[in-house]
Amino acid sequence: MKKFINVRLKGSQNLNSIYVENGVIRKIMLGTSEDNSLGGEDCETIDVEGHLVVPPYVDPHLHLDYVFTAGLGENNASGTLFEGIQRWSESKGHMTVQEMKERIYSGIRKEMLHGVQAIRTHIDVTDPTFTGLKAALEVREEVKDILDLQIVAFPQEGMYAYKGGDELVEEGLKMGADCVGAIPHFELAREFGEKSIHKTVELALKYDKLIDVHCDETDDTQSRFLELLNALVLMEGIGTKTTASHTCSFGSADNSYAFRMMKLFKKSGINFISCPTENIYLEGRQDSYPKRRGLTRVKELHDQGINVCFAQDSMSDPWYPLGNGNMMMILDHGIHIAQMMSPEEIQDDLDLVTTNGAITMHIQDRYGIEEGKPANFIVLDAKSEFEAICERAGILASVRKGEYLFQKEPAKVIGAIDLLK
């Protein structure tokens, strides 16, 4: 047995002790007593020194098959979603499964070193060779002990805009993908976008899969595929297993429409993902001024009790030139753009990159710092939620099943003048 002492948990001003046995949290006790009655004399004691301990970061929307592909072909000169898809289409056919695996691993390493232990990756299946999916399936098996990795069978070039795309998505599910994906706003006409939503729900029911749709990733207020997706999953009772990613156009919708939809979202239990850095970079490209921010109504969804979380989306690919898997950076951008920095909101903002993402990925039964759950958590270089967010705190340690995945030394200032000591 191990005992982590001087643990500061989210929402608590007190220090706690976490007892771990066989990789599972056996007991959480208030205080830092040296009483060995629970663990015995052989209980290993690890002092967290009062640092904030939270569940691992979750990145519920990432494209691991695209990471570090920026510059492989022509640049995305317009900086738009649509040209990004074109540039990816031009370059993706030249990759091997091994090359794709190396790229996927490079993205995973980046994220895990920033405290991520759960990733949902969209993998492009508008590729009859399934190069990306084969690579991702192999990686998922290889990392299963250290990372929760979900795979979305995602038709990047459209379920119907790409000939046979619907059949490729279904084949991807048969091969082992965890989620059904779609991109209705990229289809050739509204009717095809609606057809893709119907097909997505049909496949999810047929194969008992989760749903994650790239939904209305556009400023176009007439793009309302979210409404149809929500209605279908509400009627089928699978809202909690469904995610609407991006929903940028809902951020541009008028308040009367939003008022009606909020009630329906709450009724269905649908989940939302916003990708702050990506959305603000890609959207608003057709605006002069005023210029839209590109984000969905994150604050309003959260205030209504609807599950919403943040994600990285891209790391240096045809859509977004930067990105390093640091979810604290994503959170920082997101709460600024969404204006979620009241004292009360700051106390809970970390949920946007932890617990809420786990709910979206439908892994909450094995996620969280609770007795009986796996001892998975991260140690932040901060003593409170406010300090963590204000200082953009780094990760001191990542723990999986009670064992360190890594530890880091806190940053130190050396050779400083008196004023800076």
> Residues with Cβ < 8 Å from 294, sequence gap 6 or more?
219, 248, 251, 279, 280, 281, 282, 283, 284
The CATH H-level (homologous superfamily) assignment of domain 57-366 is: Metal-dependent hydrolases (3.20.20.140)
- Interstrand relation of 116-124 and 148-154 (parallel, antiparallel or unpaired): parallel
Q: Which of 83, 217, 278, 385 is catalytic?
A: 217
Q: What mean pLDDT, rounded, does the chain reach?
A: 95
Structure confidence by residue, pLDDT tens digits, 21-71: 999 999 999 987 655 567 677 889 999 999 999 999 999 999 999 999 987
**Model pLDDT, residue 41:** 73
Structure confidence by residue, pLDDT tens digits, 352-377: 999 999 999 999 999 999 999 999 99
The CATH H-level (homologous superfamily) assignment of domain 2-55+368-407 is: Urease, subunit C, domain 1 (2.30.40.10)
Structure confidence by residue, pLDDT tens digits, 178-227: 999 999 999 999 999 999 999 999 999 999 999 999 999 999 999 999 99
Band of the pLDDT at 85, cuts 50, 70, 90?
A: confident
**Model pLDDT, residue 186:** 95
378, 395 contact by CB (below 8 A): yes
Cα(235)–Cα(292) distance, rounded to whole angstroms? 33
DSSP label of 398: E
Band of the pLDDT at 95, cuts 50, 70, 90?
A: confident
* Location of each CATH 3.20.20.140 domain in the chain: 57-366
**Model pLDDT, residue 374:** 98
**Model pLDDT, residue 164:** 98
**Model pLDDT, residue 37:** 64
244, 270 contact by CB (below 8 A): yes
* Location of each CATH 2.30.40.10 domain in the chain: 2-55+368-407
Among residues 242, 239, 320, 339, the alpha carbon closest in space to that of 279 is found at 320
3 state DSSP class of 380: strand
- Interstrand relation of 116-124 and 57-62 (parallel, antiparallel or unpaired): parallel
Q: What percent of the chain has pLDDT over 90?
A: 87
In this structure, which amino acid lies at residue 80? T
244, 231 contact by CB (below 8 A): no
Q: Examine the residue annotation and report whether 217 is marked as an active-site residue of this protein.
A: yes
**Model pLDDT, residue 413:** 87
3 state DSSP class of 227: helix
Alpha-helix runs per DSSP H in 305-402: 327-337, 343-348, 355-361, 385-390
